[in-house]
Amino acid sequence: MEDLETAPWFLSALEFASRGHKGQVRRGSNRPYKAAQAARMKDASPSARLIKLADQISNIRDMASTLDAWDADAVANYAAGAERVVSACWTERYQELHLEFRREIDRLRRALREHGTPSILPEPRP
């Protein structure tokens, strides 16, 4: 991420988004919640999108690090919802953050394999 114009913004937003979220695992279906988040992001300000992107990256990163706290359905459900939110936040300005999210999804996929969980995440789109 060095030499990227958005890197300092990303780090600040990631730090902000991760405060107070550690250990808070949402149970049950979050589809309606994530759908509402995605709908709001389509018209959100660039700074709101930045924070939302950093939050989704942080959450997926935490999930990969704490797989024992999640059941397979919750992982698949949350990851699908996060993908929907991140897609709704698309802007050329934060392209590197979208790539970082993809890397975290890939990391989650590897963690699931290492954990012995069959692949429950959809494979990345080409």
Instruction: Map out the domains of the chain as residue ranges.
Output: 7-19+27-114
Q: Angle formed by the axes of helices 46-65 and 31-41, to 10°?
A: 150
User: Does residue 126 have a pLDDT over 60?
Assistant: no
- Read off the pLDDT of each residue in 94-106 and give the average, rounded to a whole number: 94
Taking CA atoms, 61 is separated from 1, 27, 43, 81, in Å, by: 16, 17, 26, 15
Q: What's the mean pLDDT in 58-70? A: 91
Model confidence band, residue 70 (pLDDT cutoffs 50, 70, 90): confident
Q: Is 51 helix (H, G, I), strand (E, B) or coil?
A: helix
Mean pLDDT confidence for 78-97: 92
Contact 86, 60 (CB under 8 A): no
pLDDT at 24: 40
Q: pTM, whole model, 2 decimals?
A: 0.72
Which band of pLDDT confidence, cut at 50, 70 and 90, is reported for residue 21?
Answer: very low
